Amino acid sequence: MMRRCLLILFLLFVFKATSQIGGRYTYQFLNLVSSPHQSALGGKYVTGFNADPSSALQNPATINELMDNQLAVNYVNYIADVNYGSVAYAKSFGAKNLMLHAGVTYINYGTFSGFDEVGNPTSDFGANEAAISFGYAYRIPNSDFYTGANLKFISSKLEQYTSIGGALDVGFMYHNETSKFDVGLAIRNAGTQFTTYDSVREDLPLAVDLGFAKTLENVPIRWNFTLENLQTWDIAFNNPNRDITDLEGNIDRDDPGFINNALRHVVLGLEFFPENNFTIRAGYNFRRSEELKIIDQRSFAGLSAGLSLKLGKFKFAYSYARYNNAAASSTFGINVNLL
């Protein structure tokens, strides 16, 4: 059975390995981060081996016994009238305490004014998308290695156009309780559309992320280092606003080099007091900084921060992510211990 799963995963990855990012696929909401924990650490966090069931939405291999009967509800006040969020829950079943996970991710794009082809107003319309996932993780016997998978059913409605699809997430995790060192690998959104919007089949936003994390000894700090979008190496692009024109009219085109492109795959995060009831978090996303910063202005694009507070069976979390001077997002979350 395991060999068959690995073979299916390999074939899916080969077929999708040429997938690009940034507007060339459908169901883009699948890669939005709705957890304040993940958002505060720069937007990518695949090493969350903890009691937060939201972590399994990013890496199903993180499903573990600490999540048993834990419920997480998250909400994001995004740009303009866009709102999205997630709900996640995990539960153990049977004599072997099998851990199963379920989650819902949704996005509402707000209300739009409709116009016909000559500009006459018509009726208003909306757009929304949702994904329901079911996950399971398995610990390899006598080891610190875990593997897991999420099966997702996706529904999308954009004005009168609708689409239904399915996707598979596969995750791998190394979690050493003694050294407090974690390594996580997540391959997400390998799937297809079952029905298309208008007879045109589109690719799903495949994402491959690799993360490393460690809690320092005798110091209440946990660092996170994540490499995102590994399915596509060249994610840098020319920005015409950064072209330089000399006095003779010669144009020196913006051309991001190897180092610039490599850094755009990097996301950094720090957690202070990670094992206490009160935690402070901060992150930096290099790609977000490079793509959204404004020339000759200090916008602090790419920075994010947040905190969490545990009170009894409730854990409250908040994060703030900076995009530029005109845009930022706040993420709110609450985890409830239902035991």
pLDDT of residue 253: 72
For the entire predicted model, the pTM comes to 0.86
State how far the alpha carbon of 314 is from the alpha carbons of 86, 87, 113, 131, 297, in Å.
17, 15, 41, 26, 41
pLDDT(20) > 60? no
pLDDT single digits (tens) 52-61: 999 999 999 9
Residues 160-174: tens digit of each pLDDT: 899 999 999 999 999
Indicate whether 208 pLDDT > 90.
Answer: yes
Domains of the chain: 2-337 (2.40.160.40)
Q: Kindly calculate the radius of gyration of the chain based on its CA atoms and give it in whole angstroms.
A: 21
Cβ atoms of 99 and 139 within 8 Å: the answer is no
pLDDT of residue 181: 96
Under DSSP, is residue 189 helix (H, G, I), strand (E, B) or coil?
strand
Picking from 8-22, 123-137, 204-218, 228-242, which range would have the lowest pLDDT averaged per residue?
A: 8-22
Phi, psi of 259 (to 5 degrees): -65, -45
Mean pLDDT (the chain) is: 88
Backbone region of residue 262 per phi and psi (left: phi > 0; alpha: psi in -120 to 50; beta: other values): alpha
> Whole-angstrom Cα distance, residue 85 to residue 73?
8
263 against 3, higher pLDDT: 263
Of 215 and 290, which is predicted with more confidence? Answer: 215
% of the chain residues with pLDDT over 70 = 88
> Residue 77, Cα to own-chain centre: how many angstroms?
16
What pLDDT is stored for residue 6 in this prediction? 38
Q: What does the pLDDT look like over 321-337, one tens digit per residue?
A: 988 777 889 999 999 99
Contacts of 287-292 with C-beta under 8 Å, sequence gap 24+, read: 287/228, 287/229, 287/235, 287/263, 288/43, 288/323, 290/236, 290/256, 290/260, 290/263, 290/264, 291/264, 292/323, 292/324, 292/327
Q: What is the pLDDT of residues 95-122, one digit of tens each?
A: 666 889 999 999 999 888 888 888 888 8
